[in-house]
Amino acid sequence: MFQFGMIFLFIGALMVYATGLIVRIIKRPPFNNVLFVKISGLVFTIIGAIMIFLSQYPEKLEFLRIV
Q: Are 23 and 30 in contact (CB under 8 A)?
A: yes
Q: Crossing angle, helix 19-26 and helix 30-54, to 10 degrees?
A: 130
Instruction: List the one residue out of 41, 46, 57, 43 whose CA is nearest residue 2.
Output: 57
**Among 29-38, 44-53, 54-63, which stretch is predicted with the lowest mean pLDDT?**
54-63
Which sequence spans correspond to the domains of the chain? 2-64
Q: What is the pLDDT of residues 41-56, one digit of tens each?
A: 999 999 998 888 887 7
CA distance 16 to 55: 24
Strand (E) positions, the chain? none
pLDDT band for 32, please (50, 70, 90 cuts).
confident
- Residues of the chain with pLDDT > 90, as a percent, come to 27
Sign of the dihedral through C-alpha 3, 5, 11, 17: negative
